[in-house]
Amino acid sequence: MTREGGCFCGAVRFRTEGEPLNVRICHCRNCQKAMGSPFFARALFDQRALSIEGDTASYPSSEALDRVFCKVCGTRLFSRRTNGTWWGSRWPPSTTAMPLRQPSTSGSRKR
Ligand SMILES: [Zn+2]
Ligand SMILES: [Zn+2]
């Protein structure tokens, strides 16, 4: 299955192929602060399954993880393991006030 999403302003678009390795909610302090939210809802994809268009910037929130965001509107898009193996891509299914854009594909998981 192909899933697409993007940032608030549209400067960054991303697409994932296949199914996520897992879908989790992380309540750790770093995720809370980085997301400005009680938790970080994300789906984990192999880096090779993700393609990105547009300009992003990032900062390290820990030694192991970079947080990636849109340079223009600041939407938080991904977290990236700095060992280069996996990307956690923030993916719809949350009911928090995080600025999630709904995917354009149907059949996405609701959580
Ligand atoms: Zn943007
Ligand atoms: Zn966390």
pLDDT range class, residue 32, cuts 50, 70, 90: very high
12-to-39, 82, 87, 88 alpha-carbon distances in Å: 23, 21, 16, 16
Q: How much distance in Å is there from the Cα of 30 to the middle of ligand 1?
A: 22
Question: How far apart are the CA of 53 and the centre of ligand 1, in A?
Answer: 11
- Whether residue 38 lies inside any domain: the answer is yes
Q: Which ligand is nearest to the CA of 101?
A: 1
In this structure, what DSSP letter does residue 83 have? T
Q: Which domain holds residue 40?
A: 2-90
Query: How many structural domains is the chain composed of?
Result: 1
Residue with the two structure tokens 């938790």? 39
Name the nearest CA neighbour of 54 among 1, 5, 105: 5
- Does a structural domain hold residue 86? yes
pLDDT value at 86 more than 80 = no
Q: Is residue 101 part of a domain?
A: no
Residue 31 sits in a domain whose CATH number is: 2.170.150.70
| Structural domain contains residue 69 | yes
Give which of 73, 77, 82, 57 is closest to 13, Cα–Cα.
77
Amino acid at 83: N
Task: Let me know if residue 110 belongs to a domain.
Answer: no
- Is 107 inside any structural domain? no
Q: If pLDDT is split at 50, 70 and 90, which confidence band does 70 have?
A: very high
pLDDT at 95 over 80: no
Q: How far is the CA of 29 from the centre of ligand 2 (A)?
A: 6
